[in-house]
Amino acid sequence: MLPWVLGGLITLTMVAMLVAFANSSSAPGTAPSGSNNEATEHKEPAILLISLAQNARAGASIEIDGASMDFPSDGPIRFELKPGVHRVRMTRLGFEPFDEKVGIGEGSEFNLKHNWKKSSL
């Protein structure tokens, strides 16, 4: 029976090591996942603020990185995003679309001011 127990323990140890290795995304010489030095953990959100008058919101829609977002009819327009570059697209019937990329750092706020331009069509 002792060989079966030892064999089971060895197998469990090997499985645990494989799981730990598979979950580790660290390259040699870098801090292991979960350490205090890992820059990708616990990032503060990036804040996108859009300045747009209440009367300019009627019929408008917004997409951030291709995802439709709720466009509040009043109050501040504020989105919490992951730090990085984001594509912001706003449309409104009768006006030229807005489509730009904005970069927002960790814990930073980016204030996007927009005035609709009448479409020539």
| 35 domain residue, yes or no | no
93: CATH: 2.60.40.1120
Q: How confident is the model at residue 65 (pLDDT cuts 50, 70, 90)?
A: very high
| 1 domain residue, yes or no | no
Q: How confident is the model at residue 3 (pLDDT cuts 50, 70, 90)?
A: low
Residues with Cβ < 8 Å from 103, sequence gap 6 or more?
84, 85, 86, 110
Contact 116, 50 (CB under 8 A): no
| 58 domain residue, yes or no | yes
| 21 domain residue, yes or no | no
Tokens of 39: 């820059």
Q: How confident is the model at residue 106 (pLDDT cuts 50, 70, 90)?
A: very high
Question: pTM of whole model > 0.85?
Answer: no
The total domain count for the chain is: 1
Q: How confident is the model at residue 22 (pLDDT cuts 50, 70, 90)?
A: very low
